């Protein structure tokens, strides 16, 4: 919109309506401003040109339907996650079971971050994050695995 106000272009071409704005209200506000500035709006996917009043009416209808579709998808996803949680299934990625003492020992023995990551089959970023936690430089947003994960990993290492 910053480029539209000084009339740096005459037409806005988008792949789809939802790429322009997050809600129908915002979409219509943007369209009103573009119309006021004399800038034409064209949507490739919906094949709609807002040059005339019929195009403008279709844009409003299609925009409302697109927003409804997005809202229905969000509701279905949330309902599915609630159901899965009630059934006792884990939502998201399982926590890593890492033997932190082995990680620290490897790192302090002079192994590079990449070497430690490959040996423990974790990412280099996880090695950095866990080393920060061990060294007391833990970020406020970091999550430390509970001691049961460490005990579990110790048992897995002992069995191997």
Domain 11-86 = CATH 3.40.50.1390: yes
CA-to-CA distance for 58 and 25, rounded, in angstroms?
A: 15
Q: Which residue has the higher pLDDT, 51 or 151?
A: 51
User: How far is it, in rounded angstroms, from Cα 77 to Cα 72?
Assistant: 9
pLDDT tens digits, 112-150? 999 999 988 888 998 888 888 777 654 444 444 444 444
What are residue 41's DSSP bridge partners? Answer: 12
Distance CA 106, CA 95 (A): 21
**pLDDT value at residue 137:** 55
Q: Give the tens place of pLDDT for each residue, 33-53.
A: 888 888 888 877 777 777 677
Question: Domain limits of the chain?
Answer: 11-86, 100-159
| Structure confidence at residue 80 (pLDDT) | 94
- Contact, 40 vs 50, CB < 8 A? yes
Contact (CB, 8 A) for 139 and 132: yes
């Amino acid at each position: 919109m910053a480029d539209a106000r000084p009339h740096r272009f005459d037409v806005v071409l988008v792949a789809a309506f939802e790429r322009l704005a997050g809600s129908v209200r915002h979409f219509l506000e943007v369209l009103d401003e573009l119309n006021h500035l004399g800038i034409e709006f064209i949507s490739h996917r919906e094949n709609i040109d807002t040059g005339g009043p019929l195009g403008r009416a279709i844009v409003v209808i299609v925009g409302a339907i697109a927003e409804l579709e997005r809202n229905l998808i969000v509701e279905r996803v949330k309902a599915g996650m609630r159901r899965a949680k009630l059934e006792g299934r884990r939502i998201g990625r399982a926590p890593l079971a890492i033997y932190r003492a082995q990680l620290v020992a490897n790192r302090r023995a002079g192994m590079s971050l990449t070497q430690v990551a490959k040996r423990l089959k974790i990412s280099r970023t996880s090695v950095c994050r866990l080393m920060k936690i061990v060294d007391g430089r833990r970020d406020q947003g970091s999550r430390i695995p509970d001691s049961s994960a460490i005990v579990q990993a110790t048992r897995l290492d002992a069995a191997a």
